[in-house]
Amino acid sequence: MQTIKVDARRLLCPMPVIRLQDAMEPLPVGSQVIITCTDPGVKNDIPAWSRINGQSVLNIQEQDHEIIITVQKDSNE
Q: Considering CB under 8 A, how many residues would be counted as binding other proteins?
A: 23
Neighbours of 70 (CB within 10 A): 16
Set 13, 15, 34, 57: catalytic member: 13
Cα separation, 45 vs 23, in Å, equals: 16
Q: For other proteins, which is the closer residue by CB, 17 or 33?
A: 17
13 is an active site residue: yes
Q: Does 15 help bind other proteins (rule: CB under 8 A)?
A: yes
**What residues numbered 33-72 form the site for other proteins, per CB under 8 A?**
38-41, 44-45, 48-49, 51-54, 65
CA–CA–CA angle 8, 9, 10 (5° rounding): 115
Supply the residues annotated as catalytic.
13
